Structure 1
Amino acid sequence: MGHLTARDAYLNLSDRINWFTQGAPESETLYKILQVLYSEKEAKWVALLPVRPFTVKKAAKIWETTEFKAERLLNHLCEKALLVDSYHNGIRKFVMPPPMAGFIEFALMRTRGDIDQKYLGELYYQYMNVEEDFIKDLFFATETKLGRVYVQEPVLMTDKTNHILDYERASHIVEEADYIGLGLCYCRHKMSHAGHPCEINAPWDVCLTFDNVARSLAEHGDYTRLISKEEAMDALERSYASNLVQIGENVREHPAFICNCCGCCCEALQAARKFSPMQPVATTNYIPRISEETCVGCGKCEKVCPILAISMEDNENGKRKAVVDEEICLGCGVCARNCSVKAIKLERRPKQIITPVNSTHRFVLQAIEKGTLQNLIFDNQAFASHRAMAALFETILKLPPVKQALASKQLKSIYLDRLLSLYKRKPVEAGPKGSESLS
């Protein structure tokens, strides 16, 4: 690797990042960001790593070095939050997090002196808020979204709580987590460095991570602080009180994060405002309904809506009333929480929002939609084992026929075509009553 120039090292790293289903469009600003986060040596070595989780032994083989030296470098990368580690059946594995929610955010989830965070925040603002290619690719390149909104549970009427599914509750995610980490809000931290501080002065210490991500970030560099479930619920309560929107990973089982977001700083909510009516994240299964008889036209709901989905209009009698643009509404419930006369109620949407089961399901769906499934399949280092390949194919086999056909077309695989053919011949087993489709 000695013949590579510094720029080559960072360009190769950029190519490696873009093997993710979620990538990072190349630009001079991205090059500068990578220079802040990675040394030239780190860029060269990380560019060779697999997309999917790998062991110390695998890294040592790729880097052509000893396992002792490989583990030392891997530990160093974890300390910089450029890798996260996990344990599976006692075996330690590493993975490079995607750009977001991943290494871009981790760099600003605590204050640190080893990098210039003000300069980095300004670069992030340029890359995401000015150039915008990254944001458009992140939120609008696939039908399956990276994030989803959680409904604010305190808003829902008691007689409707039996209709809230477990995975729709942020409190349920907290209760199910083995580890919970609390860190600084990357968005508000970034915007403060860029000269655009939060307009509502929302709290910073409300960024929640879960399970292996939380443990790894806490053990390697204190990017998060491991907290109790009670402390996590307190973070949610403080976020509700500040009219923040809960946005988490778009999966039903074990999401890696829940962010508590303001409309002035969060990239997702900013994108919802700027690119309306396109929605950057999956909505909740709820929609606000406003009682025209009860509404007093005070306009508070319009002021607190994080994505400007509510406007005040005159009805036929000349009375001011609040009107919700249902095409762009996220169903977060902030408006209902702030209505002093209780004129706003949340009701279930007519059409159920389908949420991927887990991260693998989401990755595969997004890869199919983006036309990059081959990157997951043919990342030779990642899928050297039949077990890993089988797990991926199992996810594909559970997809709807249209998605299966797209996957087969992208791979042009005789093996996959044969699997799909055999799968179609099998009798369909009925799932539990009320179970959701994996589409």
Structure 2
Amino acid sequence: MADTKRAESLPYHQLVERINRFPQGAPASELLERILRILFTEREAALVAQLPLRPFSAAKAARVWRVSESEARRQLEELAARAILVDLDHDGDTRYFLPPPMAGFFEFSLMRVRTDLDQDELSRLFFEYLNVRQEFIEELFARGETKLGRVFVNETVLPPELTAQVLDYERASEVIRSASHIAVGLCYCRNKMAHLERACEAPLDNCMTFNQVARSLIKNGSARQVEAAEGLALLQQARQLNLVQCGDNVQREVNFICHCCGCCCEALLALRRLAIPHRQYSTNYQAKIETARCNGCGNCLRYCPVEALTLEKGEVQAGKRGNARLLEELCLGCGVCVGNCPSRALVLVARPERIVTPVNAAHRVVLMAIERGTLQHLIFDNQAHFSHRAMATIFGAILRLGPVQRLLASQQLKSRFLERIFKDVDITDFSE
């Protein structure tokens, strides 16, 4: 009986191993297997476990699975229709890839109302796996310095002298305006909490995806397409409701922006729970308190999504109940507190050092892989049998790293070939 049960679980164990070859993995547990059993049939788990890490064609999947190309394409399209895979347009052809669990197929499963899976049970399992247990949250939010997401500053509360200094990729409004496709779906975090009767009153239908990922979700009915005007209106509404914009930690081709509340959002809950330093997620700004103006009303404490403000009660003066105090190491620089200070005692100021944002997804993935010790999986992916173009993408990203990080990459791979590349190639030759 034990051998039979182990054999039945083998495809899911293989799928977990495949998921954890990518820098954004998911710690193995009985809970994770129960989640995967809802999302994947046993046959699908066995097939997906064999897929390459990098985007691939139906022809590639056909060779890996040893089936006809038409059969491979049918299976891939079926998985994409359920938002397990993302299908991308690539020079008139389609490329597929398995996104990580977060932000990826975990979230996509709750971004619309579905009857093909038990969303109540899935929400309970997600809550246990992400909000009660520590392992996945620590893996996702506390491990390594390069993170999946970052916070966008509320441009409307910046002082005039700083507004001109905000770069386009730091503006949520510019991400919306410049996107080739914009999709809106249900907020995974609040939808999950709604199934558990724990959700707040913030809107559900305002989670945004962009560009090629948005095109895939729209095509497969996982999210609805909107124009930039509606996207900007949703952004304005979210800011009026004191929601924080958390999005893709890249400068180019941002894939998502969530409008996050401090009570439901996985990321904001994790930042408070694990006391993760602000530098890993924050904007290039931070709040500053002008003590002379502070009347101790405590409004900022109520609105800060990560509890980065406290109230120091000193000697009570006329009309003053104490002074707000900022915990700078926790401040995200989102600006929510600034917009809610009736005495205008809070302002945003530039941080002494700018936060480094990866150029694109390839750059971010390589950084995360180096920090997590998984770079070798990206380069030596047996299923992928990398084309020269894919190899060039990864090596190009590696060669844009700083000297220390390139040394770490070389040590991980234990490769004289990489050491030779790092020694001989001028990094400017690989700039985009």
TM-score when normalising by structure 1: 0.94
Deviations 1:218-274 (A, max 9, x none): 111x21111000010111111101111100011111111001101111111001111
Change (3 A) 1:269 1:108: same
Report the alpha carbon displacement of residue 10 of structure 1 after superposing the two structures with TM: 0.8
Match of 2:183 in 1: 181
- The 8 Å contact of residues 268 and 280 in structure 1, kept in 2 or not, is answered as no
Change (3 A) 1:85 1:16: same
Match of 1:225 in 2: 224
Instruction: Note if 1:80 corresponds to 2:82.
Output: yes
Report the alpha carbon displacement of residue 63 of structure 1 after superposing the two structures with TM: 0.7
Please tell me the residue identity of whatever aligns with 1:153: E
Structure 2 Cα separation of the partners of residues 244 and 82 of structure 1: 28
Match of 1:212 in 2: 212
Match of 1:274 in 2: 273
Structure 2 Cα separation of the partners of residues 354 and 121 of structure 1: 34
- The 8 Å contact of residues 383 and 389 in structure 1, kept in 2 or not, is answered as no
Structure 2 Cα separation of the partners of residues 134 and 141 of structure 1: 10
Match of 1:142 in 2: 144
Please tell me the residue identity of whatever aligns with 2:405: K
Structure 2 Cα separation of the partners of residues 125 and 349 of structure 1: 35
Report the alpha carbon displacement of residue 384 of structure 1 after superposing the two structures with TM: 2.3
Structure 2 Cα separation of the partners of residues 106 and 427 of structure 1: 37
SS in 1 for 2:88: strand
Match of 1:376 in 2: 378
Match of 2:332 in 1: 330
Change (3 A) 1:281 1:404: closer
- The 8 Å contact of residues 248 and 254 in structure 2, kept in 1 or not, is answered as yes
- The 8 Å contact of residues 176 and 232 in structure 2, kept in 1 or not, is answered as yes
Instruction: Note if 1:250 corresponds to 2:252.
Output: no
Deviations 1:130-157 (A, max 9, x none): 1121110001111111110000111112
Structure 2 Cα separation of the partners of residues 296 and 105 of structure 1: 42
Aligned length in residues: 426
Partner of residue 105 from structure 1, selected from 104, 107, 115: 107
Match of 1:8 in 2: 10
Structure 1 Cα separation of the partners of residues 79 and 145 of structure 2: 33
Deviations 1:52-91 (A, max 9, x none): 1000000011111111111111010001100011112112
Match of 1:240 in 2: 239
Structure 2 Cα separation of the partners of residues 41 and 389 of structure 1: 30
Match of 1:37 in 2: 39
Structure 2 Cα separation of the partners of residues 339 and 149 of structure 1: 20
Q: Give the percent of matched residue pairs that are identical in Structure 1 and Structure 2.
A: 49
Structure 2 Cα separation of the partners of residues 277 and 114 of structure 1: 37
Report the alpha carbon displacement of residue 277 of structure 1 after superposing the two structures with TM: 4.6
Change (3 A) 1:181 1:303: same
Change (3 A) 1:427 1:277: closer
- The 8 Å contact of residues 83 and 217 in structure 2, kept in 1 or not, is answered as yes
Match of 1:302 in 2: 301
Report the alpha carbon displacement of residue 279 of structure 1 after superposing the two structures with TM: 4.4
Partner of residue 168 from structure 2, selected from 160, 166, 169: 166
Deviations 1:36-62 (A, max 9, x none): 001111111111100110000000111
TM-score when normalising by structure 2: 0.95
Report the alpha carbon displacement of residue 341 of structure 1 after superposing the two structures with TM: 2.2
SS in 2 for 1:163: coil
SS in 2 for 1:297: coil
Partner of residue 24 from structure 2, selected from 22, 45, 68: 22
Structure 1 Cα separation of the partners of residues 360 and 35 of structure 2: 30
Report the alpha carbon displacement of residue 421 of structure 1 after superposing the two structures with TM: 1.1
- The 8 Å contact of residues 62 and 69 in structure 2, kept in 1 or not, is answered as yes
Match of 2:260 in 1: 261
SS in 2 for 1:148: strand
Instruction: Note if 1:351 corresponds to 2:353.
Output: yes
- The 8 Å contact of residues 263 and 269 in structure 2, kept in 1 or not, is answered as yes
Instruction: Note if 1:122 corresponds to 2:124.
Output: yes
After superposing on structure 2, the runs of 4+ consecutive aligned residues of structure 1 that deviate more than 2 Å are: 3-6, 157-160, 277-281, 314-319, 380-384, 426-429
| Aligned residue runs from structure 1 range 276-425, under 5 A | 276-279=275-278, 281-315=280-314, 319=320, 320-423=322-425
Change (3 A) 1:98 1:129: same
Please tell me the residue identity of whatever aligns with 2:127: Y
Deviations 1:178-206 (A, max 9, x none): 000000000001112223222xx111111
Structure 2 Cα separation of the partners of residues 261 and 7 of structure 1: 36
Please tell me the residue identity of whatever aligns with 2:145: E
Structure 1 Cα separation of the partners of residues 91 and 6 of structure 2: 38
Structure 2 Cα separation of the partners of residues 241 and 5 of structure 1: 53
Please tell me the residue identity of whatever aligns with 1:278: P
- The 8 Å contact of residues 149 and 281 in structure 1, kept in 2 or not, is answered as no
Report the alpha carbon displacement of residue 382 of structure 1 after superposing the two structures with TM: 2.6
SS in 2 for 1:57: helix
Change (3 A) 1:186 1:428: closer
SS in 2 for 1:334: coil
Report the alpha carbon displacement of residue 342 of structure 1 after superposing the two structures with TM: 1.6
Please tell me the residue identity of whatever aligns with 1:92: T
Structure 1 Cα separation of the partners of residues 276 and 33 of structure 2: 32
Deviations 1:90-128 (A, max 9, x none): 121000011110000000001110001010000000001
Please tell me the residue identity of whatever aligns with 2:357: T
- The 8 Å contact of residues 279 and 355 in structure 2, kept in 1 or not, is answered as no
Match of 1:46 in 2: 48
**Is the deviation greater in 280-289 or in 36-45?**
280-289
Change (3 A) 1:292 1:4: closer
SS in 1 for 2:150: strand
Report the alpha carbon displacement of residue 280 of structure 1 after superposing the two structures with TM: 8.7
